[in-house]
Amino acid sequence: MTDDPLARPRNIGARIKRVEDPRLLTGQGRFTDDHAAPGALHVAFKRSDHAHARIAAIDTAAATALAGVFAVYTAADLDGLVGPVRATSRMADYHPTDIHPLAHGRVRHVGEPIVAVLAESRYLAEDALDRIDIAYDPLPALSDPEAAAAAGAPLLHDAAGTNVLATRSFARGDAEAALAAAPLRVGGRFRFRRKAPLAIENRACLAEWDRGRRLLTLTLSTQVPGIVRDLLADLFDLPGHGIRVVAPEVGGGFGGKASLYPEDILVAALARKLGRAVRWTGDRLEDLATTSHGFDEIIDAELGLDRDGHILALAAEVIGDVGAYSIYPWTAALEPVQVVSFLPGPYRVPAYRGRVRAVATNKAPMGPYRGVGRPVAAFVMERLVDMAARRLALDPAELRRRNLVQPAEFPYRAASGIVWDRSGFVECLDGACDAVGYAALRAEQAKARAAGRLYGIGIASYAELTGIGSRISAAPGMPINTGTETATIRLDSTGAISAAFGIASHGQGLETTLAQVIADELGARLADIQIIHGDSAAVAHGTGTYASRSAVLAGGAATLAARLLKERVIRAAAHLLEAAVEDIDAADGRVFVVGTDRDLSFRELAKAVYSDMGRLPREAREELEVTKVYDPYFGTTTSATHICALEIDPQTCKVRLHRYVVAEDCGRVINPLIVDGQVHGGVAQGIGAALYEEVVYDAAGQLLTASLADYVIPSAGEVPVIETLHLETELPANAGGFRGMGEGGTIGAPAAVANALADALAPLGGEIFELPMTPDRLFRLIEGLKAPGKGA
Amino acid sequence: MTRPMPRTVTVTVNGAVYTRAVEPRLLLSDFLRDELGLTGTHVGCEHGVCGACTVLIDGDSARACLFLAVQADGRSIETVESLGTVEALSPLQELFREHHALQCGFCTPGMLMTGIDLLRKYPLATDAEIRAGLSGNLCRCTGYEHIVRAMRAAVALRDAKRDD
C-alpha cells in the first residue's frame, strides 16, 4: 500500500500557504482588544515611579469623584478578594516571592501597579490617574546585582532573608585543576544586558463573568491559557469548567506573554466581584516597564585548551539580575540557570564547573525570553572559542570542528548533564561554511582589511534541547507539567475534522502545520481540518506554546491520534466497501480499496457511521473521535551554525551586515516556508540583542527606555537577507520526527554578531565582552584601542 | 475639570461617509476601532514609532495614533478593510500570503497600508528602496525578509501591468 503515490505524505514538507493568513490579512483577525464587550469597565493603573519605596499614604478621593469613574481599588480593597501568587519550585536554595495584584505597602520596581481605576473609558480612567496622590517613603534602590548579592545589602523581600533568590551549580570532573594545568587559557568577564521581548501587540485582557452560569471567561493575550486557567481555578477556588481562558489572535509573545501578570489576576478578580466585563489594554510604556525582561547576566568564564586547540575545561560564575519578583510560574531561576546548564554548548568539555546566582534588584521581573539563557550561554562560549582560536592562530571554523561532538558520539551527555541525541552538529558547521562560501568570504575580508576596512566574519554553533517531555519541567523544579500535550481529533457527522490541542499559536502558524500532520497521517484534505487551540476549554489539560515545544509535542500527539482515528475509519470503510481492512487506505479525504475505483468520501463515511442507521452493524459503529496524550519524556536536540559577515563604519560606528547564513537541523521539516520565517524572525531579534536593544535603568532604578524611541528594535533597514539551509541528519526517535525550532535564531545570532565584531576589530586587538554593542559602546571600545599603550 | 464639548465630524472611511460627535482629544485610531468598529487598524505604541496603526489619509500613509478624529473631518481614510476580503484577497494580500510575509499578523494591516502607499508612489527599483520605505513599520516576527520578497513581487506585478 505504501507504494501507492496517493498514500505518501504530501503535506508534510510542502511549502503550504498558511490557513491563518486570510483573516489576518484582511483585518478580520480578532486580537484581545478587538473583542467588543458592551458596558465593559476600562482599567488604568497608577504605577510606581519609584524603584523602591514604602507606600505611606494613597489618596484616591478626587479620582473616585470624577464623572465616569466607577471605582478605584488599592491593595487594601482586595483583602479577602484575591491573595498573592507565588512561583514555587522543588529547587534547593530557592526563595519564592509574593506577587500581589496591586502593590502591598511597598513598591519594588518602577511601573509596579499600585492603584486600579475602573471607568467608562480608558480616556476617563487615565484622567482619574492624574487625581491620585501617593506619598512614598523612598528605600535604597538596588540597581547593581553584585551589590544586591553582597552581605548586608538591604533586602527586597524580608521573608526570603536574602536577595539571592536561587543558586545552582553544575560540575563534571575537577575543572579548577584542569584549568590550572591547561597550556592555553582564555576568559574574562562577559556582560549581556537586559532586553525586552517587545511583541508588537501589548499585553491585554478582557474578563467577563456570566452570573447565570457562574462562568468566568478571560480573553487574554497570552501564550499559556492552560497555565492561567489552572492557577486562577486554584486562586478563586472555582472548578476548571468555571473558568475559560481564551487566547484569541495573539500579536507575538516571545516569552513575554508566557507568564501570569498582576494585571490579569486583578481584571479577572474584579469582573467576578462586580459581575461586569472588565478590560485592560496595556500601552507601550506599560509593556516596557512591566512585561518580563530577558537576559541581564554577568558571566565570569574561563576556557582551558591544549596546544592543538582541544577543550580541556570550562569554568563559569554567573550572576543573573532577575529583578524584583520571582516570575510566575517560571521562577527567577529559569533564565540564569539555563545559562549555566547550556554553557558547554555542542562541544566536548571534559571538565566543567558552573555556578549561578539569581539576584533580586529593583527592576521589572526577569522572565522567559526567546532562547531562555541559551543566547547568553552561546554568546559566552562562542566568544571563548574564538578567543582561543585567535591565540592559537587557528581558523575559528577549524577549532570548532576539533571540539564539536562527533556523529559517532551521540547520544552524548554534556558536561552539565544534558543528553544530546543525534543532531547535525558537524554537518551544520560544514553546511553553513559551504553555503556562505567560507574561503571566498575570508579572501574578501583580506581585501577589505588591506583597504583598512573593519570587516569581520563571525561563526556561532550551538545546540538546544527542544520538545521537552515530562521528565524535566521547562523551568527547574517547577511543579507544572510542561512535558505532555493532548490532541483530540474528531471526524464529525459531516465528515469535517476538528482537532483540539493545549497549545496556543501566536504567529507560529500551528493551525497550518498541525493540519499538515493530520492530513498526511489521516489521509484527509487540508481544507477539511480545523485546528482548535488557545482555549483552556479545548482539552482536559494544556499549558500553551513556549520553549520550542508545540511542533514536537502537539505534532507528536496529532500523529498518534490521527493514526488511531485512521484505523477506525478504515474499519468502518471495510464494512461499507466490503473489503479487507488490509486492502483499504485513505488519502485526500477519501477511503478506497487500493487498486480499485471503489471509494467513499469522508462525508459519505461519516453519514453511514453517524446518521444512516442500518448501513453498518451496530458493533461496527466506532467513535470517530480519538484523544491521545503525547509525552516524549526526554527532549530532542536541535542544532545550528550561524555565519555572518559585517562591517563597522569607523565614522558612525554603524554596523552593516553583509551576509547572514543559518544551517540548522530541526529534524523533519513540516513546512519550509514557516521554518524559514521562524529562523528569519529569530535572527532579527538576535541582531537586535547584539546591536541595538537594551533596557536601561539608572543607578536609582529609574527606567530610561520606556518608549520605542529609546528602546530600539531592528527595522527592515537593519536586518540583512538571511539565507537558510535545512539539514535532516537523522530523525529523532519521537512521534513524528520533529525537532523544535522556534527559538534557535535568537540563540545563535548574538554570538555570531559578537564574533564578527571581534573579528572586525582584530587588527586593532579588540575583543567583545559585552552586548548589545551599540554604536556608543563600539565608539568607546575603538577609541580605547587607538589610545596610546592600549590594544595589540 | 470639565470635559470638552464633543464636536461633529464627517469622515469618509473606505468609501462610506460617517458623521459622529467626538471628543476633541479622541485619536483617529480609537475612532476607527471603537466608534466605527473597524478593528483591523491596530495600535502598538501610541507614539508614532511602530506603524501598526498606519492608514491612508487622502491617499497618504499616516499614523492613526498621531492624528485626532477631529482632524480627519472632511477627509477620506482608507484602512486595511478597504483591501480584499477573506474570500478574495487583494493582489498585495495574496503576495503576502504566498511569501509568508506575516506571522502573528498584528503589524500586518499597517504594513499593507504602507506597502500600498509605496507601490502607488515610488519606483521601488531596489530592495534597499523597499526596506527604506518599510522602515517605519516594525515587525517583530518575520525578520522582514519575506515582507521584502512580497513587496518585490508586488512591484513586478505592478510594473507588468503598466507595461501592458
CATH superfamily ID and name for B91-163: [2Fe-2S]-binding domain (1.10.150.120)
What whole-number percentage of chain B has pLDDT above 70? 98
C-alpha cell at A187: 576568559
Say if A413 is an interface residue toward chain B (CB within 8 Å): no
Q: What is the pLDDT of residue B2?
A: 65
Judge whether residue B1 has pLDDT over 80.
Answer: no
Q: What is the pLDDT of residue A791?
A: 46
Q: What is the pLDDT of residue A729?
A: 85
Q: What is the pLDDT of residue A728?
A: 87
Q: What is the pLDDT of residue A209?
A: 95
Say if A284 is an interface residue toward chain B (CB within 8 Å): yes
Judge whether residue A5 has pLDDT over 80.
Answer: no
Q: Using one digit for the tens of pLDDT, what is the confidence trace for A351-406?
A: 999 999 999 999 999 999 999 999 999 999 999 999 999 999 999 999 999 999 99
- Mean pLDDT across the stretch B59-68? 98
The span from the CA of A498 to the CA of A563, in Å, is 15
Which residue's entry shows cell 501507492? A4
The span from the CA of A607 to the CA of A274, in Å, is 47
Q: What is the pLDDT of residue A439?
A: 98
Judge whether residue A87 has pLDDT over 80.
Answer: yes
Question: Mean pLDDT for chain A?
Answer: 96
A199 contact residues in B (CB cutoff 8 A)? 104, 106, 140
Question: Mean pLDDT for chain B?
Answer: 96
DSSP readout, A263-276?
HHHHHHHHHHHHTS
Residue A182 to residues A125, A171, A384, B116: CA-CA distances in angstroms? 64, 18, 14, 62
Question: Residue B138 is nearest to which of A24, A29, A715, comparing CB atoms?
Answer: A715
B69 contact residues in A (CB cutoff 8 A)? none
Q: What is the pLDDT of residue A790?
A: 52
End-to-end CA distance of chain B: 62
Q: Using one digit for the tens of pLDDT, what is the confidence trace for B104-156?
A: 999 999 999 999 999 999 999 999 999 999 999 999 999 999 999 999 999 99
Q: Which residues contact A373 (CB under 8 A, 6 or more apart)?
A: A334, A335, A336, A337, A338, A339, A340, A341, A342
Judge whether residue A3 has pLDDT over 70.
Answer: no
Does the distance separating the beta carbons of A709 and B49 come in below 8 Å?
yes
Q: Are A606 and A598 in contact (CB under 8 A)?
A: no
What whole-number percentage of chain A has pLDDT above 70? 98
Peptide bond into A617 cis (omega under 30): no
Question: Residue B141 is nearest to which of A29, A283, A681, comparing CB atoms?
Answer: A681
Does the distance separating the beta carbons of A677 and B104 come in below 8 Å?
no
C-alpha cell at A68: 465616569
CA distance to partner chain B, nearest, from residue A223 (Å)? 12
Domain B7-82 falls in which CATH fold? Ubiquitin-like (UB roll) (3.10.20)
Helix crossing, A262-274 with A225-236: angle to 10°? 50
* Backbone φ, ψ for residue A435 (5° rounding): -65, -35
Q: Which residues contact A416 (CB under 8 A, 6 or more apart)?
A: A170, A172, A340, A341, A342, A343, A344, A352, A354
Interface probe, candidates A659, A715, A753, chain B, greatest B C-beta count within 10 A: A715
Among the listed residues A285, A296, A355, A354, the one whose alpha carbon sits nearest the alpha carbon of residue A324: A296
Residues in a beta bridge with A220: A205
CA distance to partner chain A, nearest, from residue B145 (Å)? 6
Work out whether strand B60-63 and strand B54-57 pair parallel, antiparallel, or are unpaired. Answer: antiparallel
End-to-end CA distance of chain A: 69
Helix crossing, B91-98 with B108-121: angle to 10°? 120
Domain boundaries, chain B: 7-82, 91-163
Q: Are A132 and A74 in contact (CB under 8 A)?
A: no
CB-based burial, A60-88: b 16+ in 10 Å, e otherwise: beebeebeebbbbbbbebbeeebebbebb
The span from the CA of A620 to the CA of A615, in Å, is 10
Q: What is the pLDDT of residue A792?
A: 42
Three-state secondary structure call for residue A314 = strand
Q: How far is CA A191 from the centre of its chain?
A: 21
Q: What is the pLDDT of residue A789?
A: 65
Q: Using one digit for the tens of pLDDT, what is the confidence trace for A225-280?
A: 999 999 999 999 999 999 999 999 999 999 999 999 999 999 999 999 999 999 99
Judge whether residue B103 has pLDDT over 80.
Answer: yes
Q: Using one digit for the tens of pLDDT, what is the confidence trace for A304-328?
A: 999 999 999 999 999 999 999 999 9
Is residue A358 within a helix (H) or strand (E), and if so which, with residue range? strand A351-360
C-alpha cell at B47: 507614539
Domains in chain A, start-ordered, CATH in brackets? 5-21+484-630 (3.30.365.10), 32-139+202-250+257-290 (3.90.1170.50), 371-467+634-786 (3.30.365.10)
Interface probe, candidates A21, A25, A123, A202, chain B, greatest B C-beta count within 10 A: A25
Residue A614 to residues A340, A396, A421, A493, A603: CA-CA distances in angstroms? 65, 73, 52, 15, 17
- Under DSSP, the state recorded for A296 is E
CA distance to partner chain A, nearest, from residue B98 (Å)? 6
Q: Are A637 and A707 in contact (CB under 8 A)?
A: no
ipTM of the complex: 0.98
Query: Taking a contact as any Cβ pair under 8 Å apart, which residues of chain A between 493 and 522 contact chain B?
Result: 506-509
Work out whether strand A53-59 and strand A106-107 pair parallel, antiparallel, or are unpaired. Answer: antiparallel
The span from the CA of A160 to the CA of A37, in Å, is 42
Q: What is the pLDDT of residue A294?
A: 98
Does the distance separating the beta carbons of A719 and B144 come in below 8 Å?
yes
Judge whether residue A6 has pLDDT over 60.
Answer: no
Residue A8: pLDDT band by 50, 70, 90 thresholds? low
* Out of A605-614, A617-626, B1-10, least confident range: B1-10
Residue B4: pLDDT band by 50, 70, 90 thresholds? confident
Q: Are B93 and A26 in contact (CB under 8 A)?
A: yes
- Mean pLDDT across the stretch A33-47? 97
Interior CA angle at B105 toward B113 and A215, to 5°? 130
Q: CB-hemisphere CA count at 13 Å for A240?
A: 13
CA distance to partner chain B, nearest, from residue A783 (Å)? 30
Question: Residue A29 is nearest to which of B23, B105, B140, comparing CB atoms?
Answer: B105
Judge whether residue A1 has pLDDT over 80.
Answer: no
Is residue B54 within a helix (H) or strand (E), and if so which, with residue range? strand B54-57
Which residue's entry shows cell 547572514? A660
Q: Which residues contact A275 (CB under 8 A, 6 or more apart)?
A: A209, A211
Q: Are A336 and A316 in contact (CB under 8 A)?
A: no
Q: Using one digit for the tens of pLDDT, what is the confidence trace for A503-540?
A: 999 999 999 999 999 999 999 999 999 999 999 999 99
The span from the CA of A12 to the CA of A670, in Å, is 5
Q: Using one digit for the tens of pLDDT, what is the confidence trace for A277-292?
A: 999 999 999 999 999 9
- Mean pLDDT across the stretch A408-433? 96
CA distance to partner chain A, nearest, from residue B83 (Å)? 7
Question: Residue B108 is nearest to which of A25, A36, A677, comparing CB atoms?
Answer: A25
Three-state secondary structure call for residue A383 = helix
- Dihedral sign from CA coordinates of A667, A670, A673, A677: negative
Q: Are A265 and A85 in contact (CB under 8 A)?
A: yes
CA distance to partner chain B, nearest, from residue A569 (Å)? 32
